[in-house]
Amino acid sequence: QQQVKQSPQSLIVQKGGISIINCAYENTAFDYFPWYQQFPGKGPALLIAIRPDVSEKKEGRFTISFNKSAKQFSLHIMDSQPGDSATYFCAASKWNGQNFVFGPGTRLSVLP
Partner 1 sequence: ETGVTQSPTHLIKTRGQQVTLRCSSQSGHNTVSWYQQALGQGPQFIFQYYREEENGRGNFPPRFSGLQFPNYSSELNVNALELDDSALYLCASSFYRGYEQYFGPGTRLTVT
User: Per the omega criterion (within 30 degrees of 0), is the bond before 8 cis?
Assistant: yes
Residue pair 32/51 in contact by the 8 Å Cβ criterion: yes
Comparing C-alpha atoms, which of 11, 3, 1 is closest to residue 75? 11
Nearer to partner 1 among residue 62 and residue 100 (C-beta): 100
Q: Which of 11, 49, 65, 81 binds partner 1 (CB under 8 A)?
A: 49
> Considering the rule CB under 8 A, would residue 45 count as an interface residue with partner 1?
yes
β 4-7/10-14 pair status:
unpaired
**Pattern 20-39, binding to partner 1, x per CB under 8 A?**
------------x-x-x---
Question: Which positions from 56 through 85 interact with partner 1, judged by CB under 8 A?
Answer: none
> Considering the rule CB under 8 A, would residue 96 count as an interface residue with partner 1?
yes
Comparing C-alpha atoms, which of 81, 83, 89 is closest to residue 19? 81
> Considering the rule CB under 8 A, would residue 1 count as an interface residue with partner 1?
no
Comparing C-alpha atoms, which of 14, 51, 32 is closest to residue 102? 32
> Considering the rule CB under 8 A, would residue 3 count as an interface residue with partner 1?
no
Q: Where on the chain is the footprint of partner 1 (CB under 8 A)?
A: 6, 32, 34, 36, 41-46, 49, 89, 91, 93, 96-105
